[in-house]
Structure 1
Amino acid sequence: MSNGDDENAETPEDAAEDASEDAAEPAPEEGEMETKVTAESLEARLDEAEADLEEAETEADLDAVESELDAVEADLEDADLPEPEDEDEEDPAEAIQSRVDDLRSDVEEQRGPYADDVQESVDDSAATVRDTRWTENGEPDVRAATEDFLATASDELGRTFGPESDDLDAHAAALEEAGATIAEAGLDADEDADTIATLLEAAEELEAALEAAEEWSDLTVVQQLRKQGFYDRLNPANHRDFPPERNVVRIAEHENDPERIVMALEKFESDFMEEVTLEALERLGAAEAFDVVHERAKKRGRQEIRVLGKIGDERAVDTLLDFVNSDNPPLQKVTIRALGEIGSTEATQEVADALEDDEPTVRYQAARSLGLLGDTRAIDPLRDRLENADDDQLRAACAWALVQIGTEDALEAAAEHDDDRAYTVQAEAEKARDATGA
């Protein structure tokens, strides 16, 4: 029987506590509904964006699609999508991001074309016209292709474009002028779409025509040389040996025509023709060959270094000094000899140091080259080697070098050995004593 009290009844204190907790939780604003971001909701939004993209006709339409993609990507970053339970299962976040990226690419592909696209294409073509070496057959095609584009640009923009002369640089300049005018014309991608499309098509046709025009790189080496007159000196009387290119080099050497030989060196890649041309240039010692031979000598080509010695241009000295201490006796020997032939006293110290090299042939060549250099700073190291070296061939070379230097001090250092054990040293000492008048 109940006494009227309910143990589960809420007391006034409980009611007050519940009311306080309810007041602590903010009530949602009117009309506000919390929507949870899910993979399905994001996919649905991408479906709508894809549909909008298919129907887009203007740049504004494309901007709207891109804005929706930005919003989807932002929500994706904040979303707490479930991780795949199986490692072989596709991650929903990665799948959605991949689809966003694909749609962005589709948006970019659907944009334009723009006037800037036309200018970029035209500027590229202008650079091609200016920088390419065209053949005699290719030049007329280049002019025609350029003038066709300029005619289209003139029609579309109501302004006349044309080269100031037949020179290809003038054609390139006219293209650049037309490209800049197109970019500055204020053409709208929507309102002027037809004009831009026409200009872009003409620019693409220009690129294709230039690609088809004949340039030097399209010709074989023989065709290039034939057009440059390389073979013009051949005739039945002198066309005896094979290959004919060897005959051309021989004729050019006989006629002191190094340009033709350099042409062959640059064009032919065979070891045989390289040897033929370098030997001819070495015999000629032609200054015209310096640039191409010097560049090749940087790769430690010994034959090229010999040619540099014969040319005698001091611009080669810095390159050759790097090889003096190369621990490669054949390279050291030919380099030291070339430095002596060039005659720059800038090389004196490095060559003098080579008097102490471990290789006898290098020491000998160093002594000879010091004589050719004629620098009085070499007298003391030459005197020392002449007095103390065991190698009579080296000592004779030192005596010879002192005679070549020819100063009083140098001659006296050599003359002291007129009774030397080695006849070759005696001979040089006697020359020195005769030179001093003693």
Structure 2
Amino acid sequence: MSEDESTPDESEAEQSADLDAIRDRLDSFENDLEDLESDLEAAETEDDLDVVEADLESTREDLEDVEIPDPPETDDDEEEDDEPTPEEELQDRYDDVESDLGDLEDDLEDQRGPYAEDVVSEIDGVANTITNTRWTVEGDEELIEAVNSFLTDVNDLLGSDLSTPGGLEPVSGAELGEKGEEEGNVPEKLEDTLEDATEAVEDAGLDPDDDAETIAGLLEATDDFEGDVDDATEWTDLEVREQLRREGFYDVLDHVKDFPPEWHALKVHEKRGNVDQILLAYETLGSEFMEEHCLEALERMGPEEAIDPMLQKANRRDQAAMRILGKIGVANDDVVDTLVDYVDSNPDLQKPAFRALGEIGAEDAVQPIADQLVADNPDVRSWAARALGLIGDTRTIDPLADVLENDDEDRVRASAAWALNQIGTTEALEIVAEYHDDRAYLVQAEAESVDLEPAA
């Protein structure tokens, strides 16, 4: 028998020896974990914890080098034995060691700190809550009181002299318009003060061992501060009519002619051009009745201030919002991209999208609209032609001329003639003028309206 060959008994003996070696290593790991647990309990400083952490990392690296062999395969005909194999027993022990090691690593992290960085992070979190929430006048007052109380605690713990700005006074939404932004913005001014507090904590150079009590006191003060902010009165805590009243929405009502009173107030605000109040009603009032009237008012007014809320609504396939964007007439990228998404949609959405793109003169939409000149639906072809006429791009003269000459539907041909008239160049007008004796009255009418005479 060659040196490389071995008998079955020798192979089994080698496998058994390998398993015994793994078993011995797991025994060693279990003993090491007991020692590490004792070391962790005895650790008093960050340096002590660093030593334990290094030992835990070394233990994990050694554990990852251990490979448990797979259990031997059994024939399908053999009856399964409920007793685990030696390999399965070792795998269970390995998993237990790994789990216990993970628990010690978690305990180590829990035992660290607290740190000054934790205090700064907590303060920043509360500051974000303050600036990203809309507060009532009462809420602003409660925030000022909460910050003052927090600063008192910080000053006691750090020996600092932090304070809120002098003359800090809450201002209602209606008063803000009269006094200006500088008089309001309580949250922003408090944020500046809280930035001073975080700088004071950072500048104190607090050591997690020597200043553990101070850091713990600061964290406790921050927790109390967060609770006070959570209890402050937010704008959403008010009923809808109370929100509107505080914003001055009802101030225009000397008497009420229509019911509900919000409808009458809306009419007055539209007449006076108070776009902000109409948008306030649109965003605040939950009834479909008032939303419809707010949208109708915005469509009549076409204010640029309505672009963002109408974009949000148009992205939800809302036809009224598309019409309003057309009436506003601003061809920014967001508006055009939103409307172009509906150019190749269903006819209910195509119609307002075509119209709006035409009204705003969206040259970037010319090609996708022109592609619809060959749509199966004659209504879609007609709307596309009219939209191109409103945009007035001379590149569309030839495709519109083809529609005028070849389309099967006279109403589509009439729309193409109308569009060429709108483009108004000599080339476009001469094309339309040739149809003065067309079979369709609407096309004739467009041709007869052409004026090729030069202006005097």
Question: Per-residue CA shift, 1:391-435, capped at 9, x if unaligned?
Answer: 221222233333333343333322222222222222222222686
- Pair 1:294–1:70, CA change in 2 (3 A): closer
Amino acid at match of 1:204: D
Residue from 287, 294, 304 that aligns with 2:321? 304
Indicate whether 1:230 and 2:225 are aligned.
no
Aligned to 1:145: 146
**TM-score, scaled relative to structure 1:** 0.79
Secondary structure (helix, strand or coil) at the match of 2:450 reads helix
Partner Cα distance (1:295, 1:223) in 2: 26
Question: Per-residue CA shift, 1:329-376, capped at 9, x if unaligned?
Answer: 222222222222223444444444433222111222223333333344
Instruction: Give the 5 Å matches for 1:423-434.
Output: 423-432=441-450
Secondary structure (helix, strand or coil) at the match of 1:263 reads helix
- Pair 1:348–1:40, CA change in 2 (3 A): closer
Indicate whether 1:343 and 2:343 are aligned.
no
Instruction: Give the 5 Å matches for 1:383-422.
Output: 383-422=401-440
Deviation of 1:303 (Å): 1.6
Partner Cα distance (1:406, 1:82) in 2: 85
Partner Cα distance (1:79, 1:391) in 2: 81
Amino acid at match of 1:356: V
- Pair 1:282–1:99, CA change in 2 (3 A): same
Instruction: Give the 5 Å matches for 1:180-259.
Output: 180-234=199-253, 236-238=255-257, 240-242=258-260, 244-259=261-276
Amino acid at match of 1:92: R
Deviation of 1:225 (Å): 3.1
**TM-score, scaled relative to structure 2:** 0.76
Deviation of 1:136 (Å): 0.9
Bigger relative contact order (CA 8 A; separation at least 6)? 2
**Is the 8 Å Cα contact of residues 81 and 92 (structure 1) preserved in structure 2?**
no
Deviation of 1:67 (Å): 4.7
Aligned to 2:116: 115
Aligned to 2:374: 356
- Pair 1:76–1:248, CA change in 2 (3 A): same
- Pair 1:389–1:187, CA change in 2 (3 A): closer
**Is the 8 Å Cα contact of residues 411 and 436 (structure 1) preserved in structure 2?**
no
Partner Cα distance (2:64, 2:337) in 1: 61
Question: Per-residue CA shift, 1:57-103, capped at 9, x if unaligned?
Answer: 44344445445544554554566889996279681121122112212
Aligned to 1:98: 99
Aligned to 1:319: 338
Deviation of 1:302 (Å): 1.8
Amino acid at match of 1:237: V
Amino acid at match of 2:329: G
Indicate whether 1:284 and 2:338 are aligned.
no
Amino acid at match of 1:129: I
Amino acid at match of 1:46: L
Question: Per-residue CA shift, 1:158-183, capped at 9, x if unaligned?
Answer: 33222344344333223223323323
Amino acid at match of 1:174: T
Q: Name whichever of 112-121 and 294-303 sits farther off.
A: 294-303
Aligned pairs, how many? 400
Unaligned 5+ runs, structure 2: 1-22, 72-82, 169-185
Indicate whether 1:275 and 2:299 are aligned.
no
Partner Cα distance (1:148, 1:172) in 2: 15
Partner Cα distance (2:29, 2:451) in 1: 105
Q: Which has the larger radius of gyration?
A: 1
Partner Cα distance (2:212, 2:389) in 1: 79
Identity fraction in percent:
47
Secondary structure (helix, strand or coil) at the match of 1:148 reads helix
Secondary structure (helix, strand or coil) at the match of 2:411 reads helix
Partner Cα distance (1:208, 1:247) in 2: 42
- Pair 1:284–1:52, CA change in 2 (3 A): same
Secondary structure (helix, strand or coil) at the match of 1:91 reads helix
Question: Per-residue CA shift, 1:288-317, capped at 9, x if unaligned?
Answer: 212221232234322211111111112233
Aligned to 2:76: none
Q: Name whichever of 49-58 and 186-195 sits farther off.
A: 49-58
Deviation of 1:133 (Å): 2.4
Unaligned 5+ runs, structure 1: 1-35
Residue from 389, 414, 418 that aligns with 1:371? 389
Question: Per-residue CA shift, 1:379-399, capped at 9, x if unaligned?
Answer: 333333223333221222233
Amino acid at match of 2:151: L
Partner Cα distance (1:61, 1:115) in 2: 19
Partner Cα distance (2:327, 2:64) in 1: 73
- Pair 1:287–1:41, CA change in 2 (3 A): closer
Q: Name whichever of 289-298 and 159-168 sits farther off.
A: 159-168
Partner Cα distance (2:444, 2:438) in 1: 5
Q: Name whichever of 351-360 and 371-380 sits farther off.
A: 371-380
Partner Cα distance (1:433, 1:58) in 2: 94
Q: Superposition RMSD on alpha carbons, in Å?
A: 3.3
Secondary structure (helix, strand or coil) at the match of 2:137 reads coil
Aligned to 1:5: none
Deviation of 1:236 (Å): 4.9
Deviation of 1:137 (Å): 0.9
**Is the 8 Å Cα contact of residues 39 and 81 (structure 1) preserved in structure 2?**
no
Question: Per-residue CA shift, 1:92-119, capped at 9, x if unaligned?
Answer: 1211221122122223222222222222
Aligned to 1:330: 348
